[in-house]
């Protein structure tokens, strides 16, 4: 189990940065356990130590899945975090925008509009230019 946890802490740091890796490790090693502090251990062991490192999907693809789920669940605070993860996993601003559009028929306008606000905030906080030419329909696509 120690190996899985260490792998999870490493993956967490790769996705969210060294400061967050240190924070996760410190939370798990804290002498004064706070309410709900075991969630850090569950995240390290399961999400980041078992699921994210699996073969079968690249990290970019995993980010797409996570973004879609977070949009559908209207988890805007978590979505802001995963916008940065997605960018570090190789997604582009155009691909992030397409995630919104792809989610629309399945999650609905209210969920996507909430996600759009959160994603714009995250992109701006990361210094990503959000203005520009909108993506248009591909040639031959119906309008």
Give the model confidence (pLDDT) of 27-65 as tens digits: 888 766 778 888 999 999 999 999 999 999 999 999 999
* CA distance linking residue 94 with residue 5, whole number of Å: 34
Q: What tokens were used for 75?
A: 């988890």
By CB neighbour count within 10 A (0-12 exposed, 13-18 middle, 19+ buried), where does 116 fall? middle
* Complete domains list, the chain, with CATH: 2-29+36-51 (no CATH), 59-125 (1.20.1290.10)
Confidence check: pLDDT of 139 > 50: yes
Structure-token pair, residue 44: 């390290």
pLDDT at 109: 97
CA 125 – CA 111 distance, rounded (Å): 21
Q: Residue 30 has what pLDDT?
A: 73
Considering only CA atoms, which of 17, 16, 21 is closest in space to residue 66?
Answer: 16
pLDDT value, residue 126: 94
CA distance 99 to 90: 14
Q: What is the mean pLDDT of residues 110-126?
A: 97
Task: Give the confidence band of 143 by pLDDT, cuts at 50, 70, 90.
Answer: very low
Higher pLDDT, residue 20 or 140 = 20
CA distance 68 to 11: 21
Neighbour-count burial of 120, counting CB atoms closer than 10 A to its CB (0-12 exposed, 13-18 middle, 19+ buried): middle
Q: For residues 78-85, give the mean pLDDT.
A: 97
Give the model's pLDDT for residue 136: 58
How far apart, in whole angstroms, are the C-alpha atoms of residue 55 and residue 105?
29
pLDDT at 10 over 60: yes
């Amino acid at each position: 189990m120690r190996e899985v946890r260490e792998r999870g802490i490493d993956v967490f740091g790769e996705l969210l940065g060294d400061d967050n890796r240190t924070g996760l490790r410190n939370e798990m090693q804290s002498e004064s356990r706070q309410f709900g502090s075991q969630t850090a251990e569950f995240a390290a062991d399961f999400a980041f130590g078992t699921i994210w490192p699996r073969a079968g999907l690249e990290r970019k693809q995993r980010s797409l899945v996570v973004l879609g789920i977070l949009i559908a669940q209207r988890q805007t605070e978590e979505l802001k975090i995963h916008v940065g993860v997605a960018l570090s996993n190789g997604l582009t601003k155009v691909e992030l925008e397409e995630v919104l559009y792809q989610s629309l028929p399945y999650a609905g306008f209210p969920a996507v509009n909430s996600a759009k606000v959160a994603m714009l905030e995250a992109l701006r906080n990361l210094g990503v230019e959000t203005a520009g030419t909108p993506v248009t329909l591909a040639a031959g696509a119906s309008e």
